[in-house]
Structures are given as structure tokens and as C-alpha cells.
Amino acid sequence: MILGFGILYLGQYTDSLIEGELELMRSEARFYSAALSEGSVRPVFQVSPIPFEDPLGTEAIKPSLARGMVMRLGAMSNSRVKLFSVDGSVLADSYKLNGPGSAVQIEPLKNKTRSTINESFSRSAISFLDLIPTQTKLQDYPRTVADDIEKFPNSQLAMQGYINAAAWKDENKKFVLTAAAPVQRVKQVLGIITLTKDGTKLENKINQIRLDVFRVFLGSLGVTVMLSIYLAEVIGNPLKRLAIAAESVRIGKNRDTEIPDMSNRGDEIGELSIVLKDMTHALRERMDAVDRFAADVSHELKNPLSSIRSAVETVERVKDEEKRKKLMGIIHHDVQRLDRLITDISSASRLDAELSRDKLVPVNVTDLLSELVSLQKDQMNLAEKKNKIDIIFEHSAPVIVRGNAERLNQVFTNLITNAISFSSNKSTIEVFIESGENEEIICVKDQGIGIPENKLEAVFERFYTERPDHENYGNHSGLGLSISKQIIDSHNGRIWAENSHDDKGNINGAIFYVALHSA
């Protein structure tokens, strides 16, 4: 782009340089013609064709005076000065010395300098730049008619009394500058003076600016190439390594594929490597969880299926009607257990996808818990368990958290029903809210047997079913607390369990805590 814009600029720059040189040559031609008009024009008397009349007086250029003046004027400049009479003959030439017998041709000396590396580079660069077309278009120099005042354009205009100048290109594609001016007295053209200048200096100026632009272009190109190499090394190659590692993870042929650790870079690529690493770790954890879930499901389904198969095989051989009824009861119970397991497993498998679509909005936990506690009391009354277990919830001030009301209702329902199932008759379940820093903690406390100290975290694992003695085996799938933990995790909250103790340090119940962000 720099070279392209430079070439566009060079066209205007070249035109301005040429115009400046031509204006200088017009000024020189005007000065030289004025000097010759005053210094070399003399009166000439001719015999009158009418007898006894005085001789006729006229003015003309005196060649002897003109030659000396042309030589001196030519020495003042780098131009070749020629003086022509109106009939086209050459009266004086600054490049010719008129000696005895003949004229001597003068040739300007050419400077011969030893070629240097810089000059070699300059010549090569100019040769390359000459291949690029420019805006400046010059006509070919008509060398064969340069001395013909009737055919040479500058001379034609000078014969009409106009001072003019022009730029040309010779056969070697070099600049040639010419100018012409009339030598006249009182509007009478007595001759014309022409100036011819080698455009080497002008060409050198133009080439110099072209070289400067080309050097800037090469410098910019070099910087661009070095920056490209640097960026490829610093950005391109690390991104390629990350892409290869990500592709290996996608293909999944090697679970041990590691994302390159570039966290020490401290830039966006370092952040990208950290995110990809965390994403890969989360993906592997999810895959491992799916594997464990499949293994757990297989294990949990095998138990009732084995029981059903054993009962079916036995019932065919038993003739006693009472024993057959007992075996059929076992089959019926295990079928119900299978149905419950399949339903809960189906809900658990869909939970992740459903939670990803849920939107968190402000939820009034006070109203939600009040309605839930009231509903549980009504259900216990309908089940004729009145006055056996009491549920207490007292919190008048509204507490607002960010969450999904339906999902939170599922969590608190599970915690309260679990507390009811572990509570003994005439015991109390307390539901209360504690306010923390930027979070609200909902607590469900029962007066049951508590939780073994080594199982406080295990209770949130799938299919954990350590139930009290008064509950029938198989009535619970062991997925309730696991699902609750998934829901709370999707709310960016926390859920954990602790045991409550009496004054003597004995366990007198369990407390489940749910911490949610305040809205």
C-alpha cells in the first residue's frame, strides 16, 4: 500500500518538478533573448531602389557579436544555446568554437565514479520501478528536426513571438528539456534562440524520491514480514497447538489428551488455554459421571430383577397357596420398585438438560416455604398422622433469592419429606432462614436418628438409601438428595448436611442447609 500510494504521489511530484524546470528555462530563454536583442542587433543600411534617395535603414543580428554572447551565456548555464536566423541558418552555438578554418565541437564531460553497493542497489531499484507505469507521459524528442525551425514545435512558436518550453523523452528514455524565445526589436522577429538541457539532474531528483519511497516500502515490508513471523510464533503456533489438542479431545481416542497450559502468557491465548483446559476437565468429569450413572443404574435395576426372577422360578414349584400369595406379593413389590426406579432415573437423566434451560428470577422463599409447610401438614392430617409430627416455620420478613421457584420447591419438598420419614412420633421439624453475606441459608432440622459422621457427604450420592427401620425397603430410589444437589449447584448455591447434638454431645437429629444468592 505504501508503494502504491507513493507511486500516485510521485506522478504529481514529477509533474511539479518538470513544470518548475520548464519555468526556469522559459526565464533563461527570456533573459537570453533580451540580452541578444540589445547586444547583437545592429543597424544595416541598404541602397534604395529609387535613384537619388537616401539608403534604407534596417536592423539585423550581427553574427560576430552574437557568437561571443552565446558562448558566454552558454557558460552561465547547463543548457546548450543556439541562435538561428529567420531563414533557419545557425548563427551561433554554445557547443561550437569557431577557429581558423573550421569549428570545434564541445562535448560535456561525464563524471565517472566507482560503483558502490548503494549505487548498485539504486540502479536495480530504478530498473524495477521503471517497470511500474507512471502518470507522467512525455513525447519522444524529435532530434532529427531539432535544428529545423519550421518543424521543431518550440521554434515554430518562437517564430510567432512566443516564449515556450517543453519536456521530452529521448531514445534512451532520458529527460530532455528544450525552450525557445524570439530575438526581436519592436515586435520584429530577427531570429530565435533555443535552449536544450540534459534532464539528468531532474531525473536524479525524481529517482531519489522514488528510491526513498521504495526504501520505505522495503522497510515496511521487512517489518511486516518480521511481525508476521513473530505473530505466527507467538499467536499462530500456540493457537494451532490448542486446535490440535481440542481436535484430539473431540475425536476421543485418547482420554489422557491434555490441553497445553499457556496460563503464564497472561494474554487472551493464555485465557483461552485455561478455559479449554477447564472445559476439557468438566467434559471428562461429565463423561465419568455418565459412566458411573450407567453402572449405578445397572446395579440398582439388577437387584429387583434378580428378586423377581427368583420369585417367579420359585412360585412355579410351590403348591402351598399361602406361600404362592407371599411370593406374588414380593413380585408385585419389586415391580413397583422397578417402576419407581425407572421413573426417578428418567427424571435424573433429563435434569441436566432441563436445568440448562431454566432462567433464574427473584423468588420469595418465605412464601414458598410457608405454602410447602402448610401442604405437608395437610397431607399428614389426611393420612391420620395428626399431632404425631409437628412442622414449624416462622419467618414474617420476605426473603428474596435468585432461582427457579419450581426447582426450589422440589428441593425443599424432598428435604422436608426426608425429615418426616426420619422423625419419630411427637417430634418437631424446624424450618428457618438465616441471612448471610450476600446469601440466604434455608435450614431444615429434624429430631431423628441423625446421619453417620462418615456419611455426611455420601448422602448426596446417587442411590444412597440408608433408611430408618420403620420404612419399607424399596420405597425410595436414593436419588432425591442427589437431584437436590444438582438443582442447587445449577443455582450456583451450596447444600450440605450436619448433625445436631444435645448438651451431652449426643446426636439428636440432622440439619440440612441450602445457601442461595440473595436477589
In contact, 419 and 450? CB cutoff 8 Å: no
| Per-residue model confidence (pLDDT) at position 155 | 92
CATH of 286-356, one of 1.10.10.10, 1.10.287.130, 2.60.120.260, 3.40.980.10: 1.10.287.130
98 vs 24: CA distance, rounded Å: 29
DSSP string, 191-254: EEEEEEEETHHHHHHHHHHHHHHHHHHHHHHHHHHHHHHHHIIIIIHHHHHHHHHHHHHHHTS-
Domain ranges of the chain: 2-97+114-214, 286-356, 358-519
Give alpha helix (H) positions in 316-439.
321-357, 365-382, 405-422
Strand partners, 179: 165, 195
Task: State residue 459 phi and psi, 5-degree precision.
Answer: -65, -20
- Residue 158: CB partners within 8 Å, gap ≥ 6? 149, 164, 180, 181, 182, 189, 192, 193, 194
> 3-class DSSP state for residue 144?
helix
- Residue 351: CB partners within 8 Å, gap ≥ 6? 483, 486, 487
Give the closest residue to 469 by CA, choosing from 483, 452, 448. Answer: 448
Task: State residue 391 phi and psi, 5-degree precision.
Answer: -110, 125
Give the Cβ contact number of residue 166 at 10 Å: 19
Side chain identity at 419, as an amino acid letter? A
295 vs 290: CA distance, rounded Å: 9
pLDDT in tens, the chain (519 residues): 766 676 667 777 788 888 999 999 999 999 999 999 888 888 775 555 556 555 555 788 888 888 888 888 888 888 899 999 988 899 999 888 765 454 556 666 565 555 567 777 777 777 776 666 666 778 899 988 988 998 999 999 999 999 999 999 988 888 899 999 999 887 888 999 999 998 888 888 888 887 887 888 888 889 989 998 888 888 888 888 888 888 887 776 656 677 888 888 878 888 888 888 888 888 887 777 777 777 767 766 777 788 788 878 787 777 778 877 887 887 887 787 777 777 777 776 766 667 667 788 899 999 999 988 888 887 777 665 555 788 888 777 888 998 888 889 888 988 988 888 888 777 889 999 988 788 899 999 988 888 888 888 888 887 666 655 445 544 555 677 888 888 888 888 999 999 988 888 888 889 999 999 887
* Cell numbers 518562437: residue: 158
| Per-residue model confidence (pLDDT) at position 473 | 46
Side chain identity at 310, as an amino acid letter? S
| Per-residue model confidence (pLDDT) at position 29 | 92
**DSSP state letter for 152:** S
> 3-class DSSP state for residue 465?
coil
7 vs 211: CA distance, rounded Å: 11
Give the Cβ contact number of residue 307 at 10 Å: 17
pLDDT one-digit tens code per residue, 167-179: 999 888 888 999 9
Class of domain 358-519: alpha beta
Strand partners, 105: 96
Its pTM surpasses 0.95: no
Say which CATH superfamily domain 2-97+114-214 falls into: PAS domain (3.30.450.20)
Name the strand (E) or helix (H) holding 434. Answer: strand 427-436
Give the Cβ contact number of residue 325 at 10 Å: 12
| Per-residue model confidence (pLDDT) at position 261 | 83
